[in-house]
Amino acid sequence: MTHELIFATNNLHKLSEIQSIVGKNFTIKSLQEIGCTEDIPETAPTLEGNALLKAQYIYDRFGKNCFADDTGLEVEALDGRPGVFSARYATDGHDFEANIDKVLEELTGVENRKARFRTVIALILDGSVRYFEGIVNGEIISERKGIKGFGYDPVFLPDGYEQTFAEMPLDEKNKISHRARAVSKLVEFLNLKI
Ligand code: ITT
């Protein structure tokens, strides 16, 4: 028997990535597949809050087991900013270039460049909520390097590596990333349930 889970995202790339990791015991369905075309609010002040808002929205309306994720870049010297505001740090939209410029400007002359990406997944399974967290530590370099990936990847150098996330082959980033770590914890949990 295969168990159905809704992934509350419109990002089809994230969806196929996770389907390939969970294997055949679970079928992951997108919002589109369950006919949800609404814009789900992401208005909470934390990653945990936003992930839960999205999952709860689907659970309340469709009554189906589901999960949602939220990710932020947390810079130590900026007290954890941009954090939950990572997508809309410099502008209202997803302007990756402006967001990077803003972080670099705020870090001008700052010695402590430590940062981390943090992903939180909220799962609602049979009415119970569980969170899974994935973190990758690194630093913010002072100039962009590389053109792969997205978001803050060109200025993020993960600890122990000599290439930024934007220089690394995508499959290598996907093995060590915050999202991969959170997803593998989710999958480990789901596999214990079957
Ligand atoms: P959905 O809510 O539709 O899934 P989103 O763009 O809001 O998409 P996330 O919550 O995963 O995506 O991430 C929020 C922001 O954090 C994203 O817009 C990027 O600026 C940044 N970000 C997330 N993951 C990243 C990664 O792997 N590399 C670089 N930046 C990332």
Give per-10-residue mean pLDDT for the chain (194 aa). 86 81 85 90 95 96 95 98 96 93 98 98 96 98 95 97 95 91 92 80
The model carries a pTM of: 0.94
What residue's CA is closest to ligand 1, atom 11? 71
Whole-number Å distance, alpha carbon 150 to ligand 1 midpoint, is 8
Whole-number Å distance, alpha carbon 88 to ligand 1 midpoint, is 10
- Short-list 152, 135, 150, 123, CA closest to 59: 123
pLDDT at res. 1: 64
What residue's CA is closest to ligand 1, atom 6? 87
Of 86, 89, 170, which is best to mutate to test ligand 1, by the most ligand atoms within 8 angstroms of its C-beta? 86
**Residues with catalytic roles:** 70
Half-sphere exposure of 147 (CA within 13 A, CB side): 0
pLDDT at res. 93: 84
pLDDT at res. 103: 98
Whole-number Å distance, alpha carbon 1 to ligand 1 midpoint, is 33
What residue's CA is closest to ligand 1, atom 30? 151
